[in-house]
Amino acid sequence: MIGKDSLGMENGNCEKSANITVGAEPAVSAAMFATGVVGNVLALVVLAAHRRDSRNKASLFHILVSGLIVCDLLGTVLISPMVLAAYSTGRSLRDLGLCRCCAFAMAFFGLTSMLILLAMALERCLSIGCPYLYRRHASKRCGLLAIPAFCAFSGLFCCLPLLGIGQVAQYCPGTWCFIRMWGRPLSLQHRVYSLSYAVLLKLLIVSTLLCNVSVIVNLCRMYQKQRTRRCSRSVHPGGGDRRPPPAEEVDHLILLAIVTVTFVACSVPLTVRAYIGAIYEEQSHNHYADLQALRCLSFNPIIDPWVFIILNTSKVKKTLSRILC
């Protein structure tokens, strides 16, 4: 995705530059690309192995996880080659004619991933908090329909700049493009669009956090009850419920909690930059801070699959089981 570059000036505006900033290096971008591809492919292999196990039927949650991993993989595979092409030629994306494509891809895959993550959090929230409603209405078909719906919504929203509503801009060092986040010279409709994207990200972040907090609270209550029952059985052996604690729910909770933390850490900077860009004058806009915010966002599809892979190793599962169960 986007690597570390020597920008030379903190507030440099590369919007109309035909060449990338002098001193920009592709090493980190290439490393992030390789790490992202390998991580997502391995995560898909782990998921496939999980499904082949006769004891593990494909659930709605795993369908959503698969959708998230595929989305992250496609985003990495489609965006990184454009960035690396700019580095290899020394020409900016604008000069290569790839600026609009890069801006659309970054906005589309970022928004789609966030929508899928919210769906994962909502699925766990309903599964734990409203089990009867969940069993009656939730199914694998919901996931198979939800993911294309998210893609369609994200595609329509992110293609608006191509139709004249909103603008895209090239950012330093000339190796990436995104929705234009500084708004004073823009017309009202363009400024409203950039703010709409920021507001949408904020709503997704808050909604995901609320769902995950609800899951954590409900699971903590469940475990407290089960520990009380185990203590009761130790005093009165032979009585009480002998069902083991729901280890799968713990796995899902840990995965959601870690992915949500990385999701918030990677997404909030971009949201903040969009708000700041719409308020302050262009002359005082910090384009280097925009670059840092995009770097944060680009780490998300790299971290997610490795979290999934690590949490699915047997040693990690056993350790977490001992701690939480």
Confidence of residue 187 (pLDDT cuts 50, 70, 90): low
> Hey, what amino acid is at 236?
H
> Hey, what amino acid is at 161?
P
Does residue 139 lie in a domain region?
A: yes
Does residue 17 lie in a domain region?
A: no
Name the burial class of residue 170, with classes exposed (0-12), middle (13-18) and buried (19+) by CB atoms within 10 angstroms of its CB: buried
pLDDT at 315: 44
pLDDT at 244: 40
The region that residue 174 occupies, defined by phi over 0 for left and psi between -120 and 50 for alpha, beta otherwise, is left
Q: Which of 94-103, 181-190, 264-273 has the lowest mean pLDDT?
A: 181-190
Note the pTM of the prediction, 2 decimals.
Answer: 0.79
Does residue 9 lie in a domain region?
A: no
Name the burial class of residue 26, with classes exposed (0-12), middle (13-18) and buried (19+) by CB atoms within 10 angstroms of its CB: middle
Tokens of 318: 């056993």
pLDDT at 23: 63
Confidence of residue 161 (pLDDT cuts 50, 70, 90): confident
Cis? peptide before 173, omega within 30° of 0: yes
Contact 271, 205 (CB under 8 A): yes
Average confidence (pLDDT) over 64-86: 88
Average confidence (pLDDT) over 17-40: 78
Q: At what angle do helices 99-129 and 247-279 cross, to 10 degrees?
A: 140
Burial 211-245 (b: 16+ CB within 10 A, else e): bbebbeebbeeebeebeeeeeeeeeeeeebeeeeb
Q: How many domains does the chain divide into?
A: 1
Does residue 303 lie in a domain region?
A: yes
Confidence of residue 108 (pLDDT cuts 50, 70, 90): very high
Question: Residue 296: which of 170, 119, 176, 160 has the closest Cα?
Answer: 176
Half-sphere CA count of 18, side-chain side, radius 13 A = 1
Does residue 15 lie in a domain region?
A: no
pLDDT over 90 at 213, yes or no: no
Cis? peptide before 185, omega within 30° of 0: no
pLDDT over 60 at 240, yes or no: no
Does residue 80 lie in a domain region?
A: yes
Tokens of 174: 């000339």
| Domain residue limits at 297 | 27-227+245-320
Does residue 238 lie in a domain region?
A: no
The region that residue 240 occupies, defined by phi over 0 for left and psi between -120 and 50 for alpha, beta otherwise, is left
Report the alpha-carbon distance of residue 69 to residue 12 in Å, rounded. Answer: 35
Confidence of residue 218 (pLDDT cuts 50, 70, 90): confident
pLDDT over 80 at 1, yes or no: no
The CATH code of the domain that includes 311 is: 1.20.1070.10
Does residue 223 lie in a domain region?
A: yes
CA angle 82, 48, 32 (to 5 degrees): 25
Q: Which of 7-21, 88-102, 202-216, 233-247 has the lowest mean pLDDT?
A: 233-247
Longest dimension (CA), the chain: 78
Report the alpha-carbon distance of residue 324 to residue 231 in Å, rounded. Answer: 16
Terminal Cα distance for the chain, rounded: 39
